Structure 1
Amino acid sequence: MSGLAANIHANTPTLTVVDSRGLDVRTVAYCRAIEATEAEKRINRSARDSVGRPVKQWDPRLWALNKKDAASPANLISRYSLSGKVLGSISVDAGERISLFGDSDQPVQTWCSRDTGRRIEYDNLLRPLAVFEQGKDEAVRCTERYEYADAGADFAVHNQCGQMIRHDDPAGTQAVYEYALTGGVIEQTQRFLRALELPDWPQTLPERDALLEPVAQAATSVTCFNPLGDVLEQVDAKDNRQLFDYTVDGQLLANHLQLSGQATPLTLVSDIAYSAGGQVERETAGNGVVSTLRYSAEDGRLIQFHAARDDSVPLQDLRYDYDPVGNILSVEDAALPIRYFANQRVEPISRYDYDSLYQLTRATGWETGRVSRGPEFNRFDNPSAVANFQQTYHYDAGGNLLELVHVGPQNHSRKVSAARYSNRCLPYQDDRPPTDDQIAAAFDGNGNLLMLQPGQIMGWDLRNQLREVRPVKRESGDDCEWYFYGGDGMRRRKVRVTHTSARSLISEVRYLPGLEIRTHEGTGEVLHVICVQAGRSVMQVLHWETPPPAGIANDQFRYNLTDHLGSSSLELDSEAGVISQETYHPYGGTAWFAGRSEVEASYKTVRYSGKERDATGLYYYGFRYYVSWLQRWISPDPAGNVDGLNYFLYVLNSPVVFSDADGLVKFKPMLTLSFDSDRIDTRQRGISFSKSKLDEHGQGAKYFHGSDSSSLLAFTLGESSLTGHLLPMGKLLEEKLFPFGGEAGNALRKGAVNKEYVSTVNFDNFGGAYDYSNLNNGKQWNPEVGKVDLESHLGDLSQKEMDPDFHEAKRELLQGRLERWAALDSDSRQLVENSFAVVYGVLPDSSDAGRIIRVSSDVQGETGVRFGIASEEIRVVFTEEPHMDLVTKILRSHPPAKDVLVKAFSQVRR
């Protein structure tokens, strides 16, 4: 059966209804999952206020219910200040939130449905000084404190002036001892808390230090950068050294690892070759495995991933087939044989079907064939124990996966029931659906799930981060797993306590840059896991400070071959021997897991989507946890409605096509942004657009500029850039307007090379702008040519290193940018913080002479031309359909851009 059967998609358009102001108020889609059936209407409804802001939003399920039940609420209700900031919101999934802002629109205080509050104190430069939180019926607790360097000489020599040098957060304390000129952290130290409880940080430093473990247990990491901010060398807390080589255009060429005590580094990956579009075509791992990738010439989609040893024995040969819009129809691993078991012919191929909304409706593949042994582990000496499976999926109008029917040896069928007025769901128990009261009791006021499975209690901190799971209940004390997070929301520590009749045993994982330290009190094991991104492969080196387990050599290298989602499918040792093999059901459950040794296999932690699976079975993504047997998140999306109004939905029910980097927003791993940029001789990665379709739908635009960050939109419009122009940078610097650049927005995103809030303009880019500012004779850019000699805007970097005026200008720029960031409204910040692809159609006016072209590469793999754009010069903005409302909202709120049309990528894709 074809995944894009013509009968499924016949007469299923997407319609948009606009009001008299041209604002979207209703979107009508048609859903058909079974051929020869009537398509169902799926209506998304928005009610807007007098200035066009959405004040009520309904998804198709609650909008349909609203017609029958007057008590049915909107999915999301928003209330705004006079300046347009969201003061209050009520989400049926995430609860109620109230926010107050300061004179510069900085967030000051928030309250939520759990009766918890949060308050932030700032200094005169609007830098946060302390964060205070209060739970229901609890005393106020200081959960974070910040210290900043002054302008003293001791700080100046380490580039610390004005920078954060100490951050006390819920996991411990991070101290920064040196910054690079590009803003990257060169040297930092992490100290953890003595007690396994949330801190209440005192005012004085000695009192704070008393809460920490001894200085001797501090973990120091060092990173070295080149002048462009690329990482050249990273030394972790145990003196393991990673080294990186780059091509002339800044792409990774090779990386190496020198373990502590070793005299010379070992190569982990080398000879990385790229296509003209920046896609990896070939790389060689340190164990001799050569990976080759082939892409479709028409659209750049990955069609084959082949990995083989030096002797050309294939280890993995994944072959992909797509429908016209990019949904994956099949994945075949041609390196595996056809097998026969229990009167079945088992082919190593998975096939997928979709409904007219591109939700996955059916999947077939292969899994372990022996129920008695379960899906967790098989030995390689029993290769025939496999069988075919089929899964079908049934969704409600809100996207909730209500029923998964599994046909095969394993019993994975599951039904859930959704609450009447929200998308909170619980599974059936003993084939009986939960009542609304039971669902309501299973979640807290903010929508966090309180019980993983019957008897397994979960606790949440005041930031809606999972604090603890109690997997086993005992009279003598429950087994428990605790999680501790840094101020950035990322997990820094995991502690598991298990109780026996004789004693309690503690095992712990500490997460440091490039290193995990794992200890087990019961066995005395101390394990260092060095974590390395070796090209497309993720690898770990297991180094035991104590004797290693029997059958495993110390300093074991583990290379992971992954699929298109980043899921670890093969683990290889340093001689390219197979340690383990794992395949997955579409929503992340293990279909087949085999290895040469159960002891070796037990040390595998990185699995589905390249994420760590905890002992609880939860996958840790960063800002949220995913539960594969329920096919949904256990808490609402902290980013809000960036992926729609169902805050629990996992990647829009398309887990074969999309993944999620950190629990905030879906992305298509193989289709990062790329487009033909007309007369500008630059090409980016990913999606291909048709030039003829761009001309047809481009509203007369002459140039098309795109990025996988929408920050350009945020910083081109309105008062955030004062003049309405993103560039010319030099002129704005001369006038001390300190604009944000697109690079600044990119650096605020997860995945940026330089993550230090806004100090992100590459050294050479800033140098060019500085030259232009001082000399006012930079070579002009002729928009009819679309090119400029970039060297005329780039000064000698070594001379600028010695120029104090240059560094003073740079400091002013960074401080100015910080002030601009504090002044941005929440919607503009959302455009920066949540990455999604946008393409701007631009028709420059006659005043373009003198604008600077700049090449930026703050985000790994992205190379694009940035040039001056005034908001009134934008003719059209293209983006993915789920983000059209947000982009439209921003444009409508700025008079110079209120007439700009927003269109979907589907209109211009090749």
Structure 2
Amino acid sequence: MYSTEIHKRTPSVTVVNNRKLTIRDIQYRRRPDVPQTTEELITRHQYNHLGFLAQSTDPRLYERQQTDRTSKPNLTILTSLTGKTQHTDSVDAGITINLQDIADRPVLTVSAVGTQYALTQTRQYEESTLPGRLLSITESTADNKTKITERLVWADGTKNNKAYNLAGLCVRHYDTAGVNRTDSVALNGTLLSVTRQLLPDDIPADWEGDNVSAWDAQLVSTRYTTQTIADATGAVLTTIDASGNQQRVAYDVAGLLKSSWLALKGKQEQIIVKSLTYSAAGQKLREEHGNGVVTTYSYEPQTQRLIGIKTERPVGHAAGAKVLQDLRYEYDPVGNIVKIINDAEATRFWRNQKVVPENTYTYDSLYQLVSATGREMANLPQQSSTLPSAMIPLPSDDSTFTAYTRTYAYDTGGNLTQIRHSAPATGNNYTTRITVSNRSNRAVLSSLTEDATKVDALFTAGGHQNQLQPGQNLLWTPRGELLKVALVTREGQPSDNEIYRYGADSQRVIKTTTQLTGGNIQTQNTLYLPGLELRTTKNGETEKEKLHVITVGEAGRSQVRVLHWENGKPSEININDQVRYNYDNLIGSSGLEVDGSGNVISQEEYYPYGGTAVWTARNQTEANYKTLRYSGKERDVTGLYYYGYRYYQSWAGRWLSADPAGTVDGLNLFRMVSNNPISFFDTDGREKKSAEEVFDEYKAEHLPEDREFPFRMMAGITDNKLSFSSQQAPQKSMEKIQDMKFTLRHYTSTKESKPPFDELSTNMDLVKKGVKTLKRSSGSNTNDDDWNRLGNTAFTFYLLAIDGEVSDRKFLSNTTHYTEYDLSDTKEINKLFGEGTEFFASPDLLHHKDLSVVKAVKGKLTDLKSLLIAVSGISSVQLTSLKSNPKELLKKIDEKFGNSLEIKIPGNVKVKKWNSKK
């Protein structure tokens, strides 16, 4: 039962100085097992004379500094005069230098400065007479080896390029894995055809010289093309993968997924999602899949938190009616999950012990998980990197399960230091200890070292772990991507290894596993393509298996994968083209696997920080083909979960490397989801703070009339990654369009004759006033990314209009009214927005993972017109022909921002008047 006792008198306190800068974050930690003891944890911040963050120190390292003056702060930053981060010294991630050119574009990046792992990246751009687009990235390592690792080729204005809407776009991106080609683009910017071509496995990327033909000669001849059909709004309707499999989707009137289909190459189309229904708030209520299995969702009326996910074969199903999974969630008042019950399973008794199909969770006053109970298989050993054997076949009762309890301990820096496991009925009792460095948040299992002073030596200078466990070495690319894991090292014989290759976006493209089996080398190779995985297994030079795994992109709550064997289908799997529906839980973990006929293939339950507690399957062969597990991520043979930007070791509850996104989730760069893996999950290895945490951090500084605070908040959350152009167009150019009216429009929808409010309020202000709430586990689409990655929730948003014309946007079809501001009316602008108020303009940032390369503009509102013309690169001659065509001028400006231009203004704004949308 949840108790509020430990939370009494434990406020989160933010201390600001006379410049409204946060200099102290104070938290009070109290644990349920010792409620009488309260720890005060103070995180300290220092700023330079310009008001930019210069230093941050967590409670643990600050305490060490009192006795060891050589101990460094967690983070030390040097910035430019404009606040752009140029030098970062992190005890977790090492030293990084970032330099920008006069246009504020990144030109030089040096990571792991001063060490053998140092990498220097130099970016080359087009000459100033051209749009200034990125042309290449050159990398130099500490041993003076230099390679051009990326080349970008941009399309010119030829007739053929215009026919495929390619003019001005990057049509070839040569990267560390090969080349990505853009073959065709829709008018709204949706990619219609892209092709991936690879380098041979033994050739590293080096695109030297200027001869494109020479670059292409290095590539393997096979091309993998993915094609897309989209509607006028850019919504994808059909996708054809590189093997010719076709996926088709349909949407309802609100633009939400309604149904989806899959047609394997040369086969009849089959339905994947039969129907999906939603509430008025956009929450899923019911979905039915092509196998006839139905999932229903229930929500708590007061909070709209998801409290139930029930998956069943309904009455009339060919396989018989049966509840397959019935998950019930209970929360504490702030949204932490305290209990999960699976009502589809029965309570059993074994060895005089009651084994209940439920999990319970207890937290400290900082909402860190401190204890958990659940059930596990009775024959489980201590959790490690090895996957336990599945129970075959599916059990008819729960007599082979036993109850367990786990407790967790953390230090004052947020490091998980101990996992104590207890299963009294089987005697499966053990403790996993983690040794944390005395100078950073780097840590390893105690089996690698118990000496805190030796931990840092087990990491690279950039914060990448060098050993997984004794005898298993890790090798990293200069970019900080895991390159190789030595699974088994042999003297005089081939070793077992797993090797990876990545693209320009640091996402895995190829995985190759080699193992010595029966005197022969067995090689398993996986190629990752959009919606498709191509897997081959060879024994020596003989191909034993060729498998295509089709990943259905739109399948409702479940992940649907289809296994199609070109060669080597196992006899234990009855049919080729096996459809496997993975039904997940609240954090995306694959718990229930069902085939195309609605029969259970496997069931799996997990420990809180990952790792398998229960795994049952109807046969071992089918079990072997399950790859997606905890949090919906792929589990490699190493035992690591691959998230995208990082690898996760579940048996230690830690990431294998420092967060590439920096301190977006706090000063500890290795901590997993703020030590709350039940209520939160990470999508790609760069977990952010929750919306609640961001709001709590900045709410004391926020004032609706403060037009500078939103920029400070955004800079802090994005680590100053956004670069802003402030270049204005020549006066001669502006004279060409002086009679064209540039306005800003804010749209809204209402059932009333006009909107009932006279002020445009930011999300930050609405939450602070209690008009809006922050929902942590509501099951709906929330705006967490706006809060914790982009930091733009203290801005109001607008569309640009020119002479009454606005760009096409999907959301406009649901709007009824707009308010408009004329940028040429300086008096009115100063009255409504404040004199000298600045804006910033950019594409929709939600669709950009790397903010440092986003085209953005910042300046005074009265200069907006000139700034947008300048950044768009429209010449005076072009403006002459465009001044009578506002729609075309708007289109050209919008294209420079990826056809998603947004104008953001800091703070709340008074409505001038509401206009009905025609």
TM-score normalised over the length of structure 1: 0.79
Instruction: Report the alpha carbon displacement of residue 16 of structure 1 after superposing the two structures with TM.
Output: 1.6
User: 1 CA distance for matches of 2:476 and 2:665?
Assistant: 23
- Structure 2 contact 311–324 (Cα < 8 Å) conserved: yes
- Structure 2 contact 764–794 (Cα < 8 Å) conserved: no
Task: Please tell me whether residue 244 in structure 1 is matched to residue 249 in structure 2.
Answer: yes
Give secondary structure in 2 for the equivalent of 1:525: strand
Instruction: Report the alpha carbon displacement of residue 652 of structure 1 after superposing the two structures with TM.
Output: 0.2
Give secondary structure in 1 for the equivalent of 2:576: coil
Task: Please tell me whether residue 639 in structure 1 is matched to residue 637 in structure 2.
Answer: no
Instruction: Report the alpha carbon displacement of residue 6 of structure 1 after superposing the two structures with TM.
Output: 2.2
Instruction: Report the alpha carbon displacement of residue 156 of structure 1 after superposing the two structures with TM.
Output: 0.3
User: 2 CA distance for matches of 1:242 and 1:736?
Assistant: 46
Partner of 2:261: 256
Aligned partner (choices 425, 428, 433) of residue 415 of structure 1:
433
User: 1 CA distance for matches of 2:622 and 2:101?
Assistant: 55
The amino acid of 1:115's aligned partner reads A
User: 1 CA distance for matches of 2:621 and 2:8?
Assistant: 53
Instruction: Report the alpha carbon displacement of residue 505 of structure 1 after superposing the two structures with TM.
Output: 2.5
User: 2 CA distance for matches of 1:22 and 1:405?
Assistant: 43
Gapped regions of structure 2 (runs ≥ 5):
316-320, 696-747, 775-781, 807-821, 825-837, 857-864, 869-883
Give secondary structure in 1 for the equivalent of 2:335: coil
The amino acid of 1:441's aligned partner reads A
TM-score normalised over the length of structure 2: 0.78
Instruction: Report the alpha carbon displacement of residue 627 of structure 1 after superposing the two structures with TM.
Output: 0.6
User: 2 CA distance for matches of 1:84 and 1:326?
Assistant: 36
- For the structure 1 residues 716 and 593, does the alpha-carbon distance in structure 2 shift closer, same or farther, using more than 3 Å as the test? closer
Instruction: Report the alpha carbon displacement of residue 804 of structure 1 after superposing the two structures with TM.
Output: 9.1
Give secondary structure in 2 for the equivalent of 1:238: coil
Aligned partner (choices 453, 467, 472) of residue 456 of structure 1:
472
Partner of 2:218: 211
- Structure 1 contact 658–669 (Cα < 8 Å) conserved: no
The amino acid of 1:335's aligned partner reads A
Aligned partner (choices 220, 228, 241) of residue 233 of structure 2:
228
The amino acid of 1:79's aligned partner reads L
Partner of 1:121: 124
Partner of 1:630: 652
Instruction: Report the alpha carbon displacement of residue 561 of structure 1 after superposing the two structures with TM.
Output: 0.8
Instruction: Report the alpha carbon displacement of residue 694 of structure 1 after superposing the two structures with TM.
Output: 4.0
Instruction: Report the alpha carbon displacement of residue 338 of structure 1 after superposing the two structures with TM.
Output: 1.2
Partner of 2:876: none
User: 2 CA distance for matches of 1:668 and 1:289?
Assistant: 33
- For the structure 1 residues 671 and 69, does the alpha-carbon distance in structure 2 shift closer, same or farther, using more than 3 Å as the test? closer
Partner of 1:541: 562
User: 1 CA distance for matches of 2:458 and 2:768?
Assistant: 52
Give secondary structure in 2 for the equivalent of 1:154: helix
Aligned partner (choices 471, 474, 479) of residue 490 of structure 2:
474
Aligned partner (choices 326, 334, 339) of residue 317 of structure 1:
326
Q: State the Cα RMSD in Å.
A: 3.8
Give secondary structure in 1 for the equivalent of 2:36: coil
- Of residues 218-227 and 203-212 in structure 1, the stretch that sits farther from structure 2 once superposed is 203-212
Residues 596-632 of structure 1: per-residue CA shift (max 9 Å, x gap): 0011000000000010011111101011111101101
Instruction: Report the alpha carbon displacement of residue 126 of structure 1 after superposing the two structures with TM.
Output: 2.3
Instruction: Report the alpha carbon displacement of residue 57 of structure 1 after superposing the two structures with TM.
Output: 0.1
- Structure 1 contact 658–666 (Cα < 8 Å) conserved: no
Task: Please tell me whether residue 591 in structure 1 is matched to residue 589 in structure 2.
Answer: no
- Structure 1 contact 659–667 (Cα < 8 Å) conserved: no
Instruction: Report the alpha carbon displacement of residue 27 of structure 1 after superposing the two structures with TM.
Output: 1.2
Task: Please tell me whether residue 406 in structure 1 is matched to residue 405 in structure 2.
Answer: no
Give secondary structure in 1 for the equivalent of 2:645: coil
User: 2 CA distance for matches of 1:578 and 1:695?
Assistant: 42
User: 1 CA distance for matches of 2:630 and 2:784?
Assistant: 28
Alignment of 1:82-481 (within 5 A): 82-113=81-112, 114-124=117-127, 125-203=131-209, 204-214=211-221, 217-262=222-267, 264-311=268-315, 312-371=321-380, 375-382=388-395, 383=397, 384-408=399-423, 409=426, 410=428, 413-429=431-447, 433-437=450-454, 439-475=455-491, 476-481=493-498
Task: Please tell me whether residue 497 in structure 1 is matched to residue 501 in structure 2.
Answer: no
- Structure 1 contact 126–819 (Cα < 8 Å) conserved: no
Gapped regions of structure 1 (runs ≥ 5):
698-704, 718-723, 760-769, 774-802, 829-839, 855-910
Partner of 2:739: none
User: 2 CA distance for matches of 1:527 and 1:168?
Assistant: 28
Instruction: Report the alpha carbon displacement of residue 452 of structure 1 after superposing the two structures with TM.
Output: 0.7
- Of residues 136-145 and 377-386 in structure 1, the stretch that sits farther from structure 2 once superposed is 377-386
Aligned residues: 772
- For the structure 1 residues 740 and 23, does the alpha-carbon distance in structure 2 shift closer, same or farther, using more than 3 Å as the test? closer
- For the structure 1 residues 77 and 667, does the alpha-carbon distance in structure 2 shift closer, same or farther, using more than 3 Å as the test? closer
User: 2 CA distance for matches of 1:237 and 1:54?
Assistant: 48
User: 1 CA distance for matches of 2:98 and 2:205?
Assistant: 24
Residues 123-158 of structure 1: per-residue CA shift (max 9 Å, x gap): 132211111111221410111111110011100010
User: 1 CA distance for matches of 2:306 and 2:429?
Assistant: 33
Residues 62-91 of structure 1: per-residue CA shift (max 9 Å, x gap): 122222322221100000111211110100
Give secondary structure in 1 for the equivalent of 2:504: coil
- Structure 2 contact 177–198 (Cα < 8 Å) conserved: yes
User: 1 CA distance for matches of 2:569 and 2:885?
Assistant: 54
Instruction: Report the alpha carbon displacement of residue 851 of structure 1 after superposing the two structures with TM.
Output: 8.5
- For the structure 1 residues 681 and 668, does the alpha-carbon distance in structure 2 shift closer, same or farther, using more than 3 Å as the test? farther
Instruction: Report the alpha carbon displacement of residue 118 of structure 1 after superposing the two structures with TM.
Output: 0.7
Aligned partner (choices 677, 693, 699) of residue 770 of structure 2:
693
User: 1 CA distance for matches of 2:692 and 2:15?
Assistant: 33
Residues 695-714 of structure 1: per-residue CA shift (max 9 Å, x gap): 999xxxxxxx9774259865
The amino acid of 1:468's aligned partner reads K
Aligned partner (choices 540, 545, 550) of residue 530 of structure 1:
550
User: 2 CA distance for matches of 1:676 and 1:336?
Assistant: 46
Partner of 2:629: 607
- Structure 1 contact 376–590 (Cα < 8 Å) conserved: no
- For the structure 1 residues 391 and 19, does the alpha-carbon distance in structure 2 shift closer, same or farther, using more than 3 Å as the test? same
- For the structure 1 residues 299 and 670, does the alpha-carbon distance in structure 2 shift closer, same or farther, using more than 3 Å as the test? farther
Instruction: Report the alpha carbon displacement of residue 169 of structure 1 after superposing the two structures with TM.
Output: 0.7
Residues 408-459 of structure 1: per-residue CA shift (max 9 Å, x gap): 25466310111111001121129x713412x122101001001111111111
User: 2 CA distance for matches of 1:607 and 1:654?
Assistant: 18
Give secondary structure in 2 for the equivalent of 1:22: coil
Instruction: Report the alpha carbon displacement of residue 313 of structure 1 after superposing the two structures with TM.
Output: 1.2
User: 2 CA distance for matches of 1:809 and 1:444?
Assistant: 49
- For the structure 1 residues 853 and 391, does the alpha-carbon distance in structure 2 shift closer, same or farther, using more than 3 Å as the test? farther
Give secondary structure in 1 for the equivalent of 2:280: coil
Aligned partner (choices 768, 783, 786) of residue 709 of structure 1:
786
